[in-house]
Amino acid sequence: MKICNDNFIKSFKNLINKCLDFIYPENINCIICDKSIKKTNTYSVCKSCFNEMNFILNGCIKCGKPIIHHSLEKEFIEGCSYCFDKSFYFDKSISCIEYNDITKKIILGLKYNQKTFMTKYIAQIMKEKLDLENVKFDYILFVPLHRKRLNKRGFNQAQKIALSLSKVINIPILDCISREKNTRMLYKLSKQERKKELKNVFAVNENIKLINNKNVLLIDDIFTTGLTTNEISKILKLSGVNKVFVMTLLTRANDNYVME
Ligand SMILES: [Zn+2]
Ligand SMILES: [Zn+2]
C-alpha cells in the first residue's frame, strides 16, 4: 500500500511539473528571431539580438536621435546634426533604441504579425528609459491611425504600446486625437510633399479639455523625421496643453528611412 502511495505521489508530482512547464515554460522564444531562449533573458531576446540593440544613452536633447559627431559642441546646445536647424512644437523627443535591421523586427512583428504581447517588453524598455529622463507628465497619448487603416490592421500599435506603458508606470492613457485623413506612406514622398500631406490630418476630440495646462507623453513606434509627432504636438499646444514629450521605441540615426 505504501509503495503504491509513493508511486501515486511521484506521478502526481510529475503531472503537476508537466502542467507548470506548459503554463510557465523554462524556455521561450526570442521576440526578435524566434530562437529558443531562457525565459529569464532580459526583454525576452536572445544574446545575439540583444548585442545588436543599441540603446541610446546620450540622445539629442531636442529630437532624441543618437549624437554622432561628439566633437560638435553645438549639438548639445541647439540639437544634433539632424535637428539643429529645425524647430519642433514638442518640448523633447526621447527614443530608446537605434533603428537597425534587428530592432526594426520588433515593430514589424508587432505591426504586421500581430505579436501584441511584445508591447509588454517595449513598455519595460520605455519605463527604464523614462527613469533616466527628467520628464513629468499627467497623461499618456498615442499617435492615432486612420479608421481605414485601423480596420485593416485591427489595432493601433502605438495605442497598444501606450496601454502597456500606462499599466507599468501607472499613469492614465487618454484618447484625444483622431486622424482625419488617411495619409499616403510618407517615405514615398519628398520633404515638401510630406509637409503638405500632413496638413490638417489630425483633430482633437472633447477629451482635450482634460489636458488643458497639463503635461503629456505622446507615444509612437518609430521616430523618423518627427513630422507626424510634431504636427500632433502643434495641435496639442494650440489646444492648451502645457508640455508635450514624445517617446518612441526606435529612432533612425539619419534621415533615410524605409517605413513610418
Ligand atoms: Zn534573437
Ligand atoms: Zn536632434
Q: In this predicted structure, what is the pLDDT of residue 257?
A: 39
Residue range 26-72, pLDDT digits in tens = 568 899 999 999 888 899 999 999 999 999 988 999 999 998 765 55
CA distance 39 to 248: 25
The predicted model gives 243-256 an average pLDDT of 86
Name which of 185, 161, 174 is nearest 216 in CA terms: 174
Q: From the CA of 207, how far away is ligand 1's center (Å)?
A: 40
Q: What is the DSSP string of 214-247?
A: -EEEEEEEEESSSHHHHHHHHHHHHTT-SEEEEE
Q: What is the spatial distance between Cα 55 and Cα 140, in angstroms, rounded to a whole number?
A: 22
* Partners of 141 in the β-ladder: 218
Centre of ligand 2 from the C-alpha of residue 206, in Å: 33
Q: How far is the CA of 79 from the centre of ligand 2 (A)?
A: 4
R_g of the chain computed on alpha carbons:
22
| Cβ–Cβ < 8 Å for 49, 32 | yes
Average pLDDT over residues 68-97: 81
Contact 38, 23 (CB under 8 A): no
pLDDT band at 136 (very low <50, low <70, confident <90, very high): very high
**Ligand 1 geometric centre to CA of 45 (Å):** 5
**DSSP for residue 66:** B
- 80: CA distance to ligand 2 center in Å? 4
Q: Per-residue pLDDT tens for 102-133?
A: 999 999 998 888 888 899 999 999 999 999 99
Q: How far is the CA of 228 from the centre of ligand 1 (A)?
A: 30
| Domains identified in the chain and CATH numbers | 53-251 (3.40.50)
Neighbouring residues of the ion ligand 2, judged by CB less than 5 Å: 60, 62-63, 65, 79-80, 83
CB 216, CB 141: distance < 8 Å: yes
Dist. CA 207–CA 132, nearest whole Å? 30
Grid coordinates representing 89 are: 512644437
Question: Does residue 178 contact residue 142 with C-beta atoms inside 8 Å?
Answer: no
Closest ligand (CA of 41): 1
CA 84 to ligand 2 center in whole angstroms:
6
**Please, which pLDDT band fits residue 12 given cuts at 50, 70 and 90?**
confident
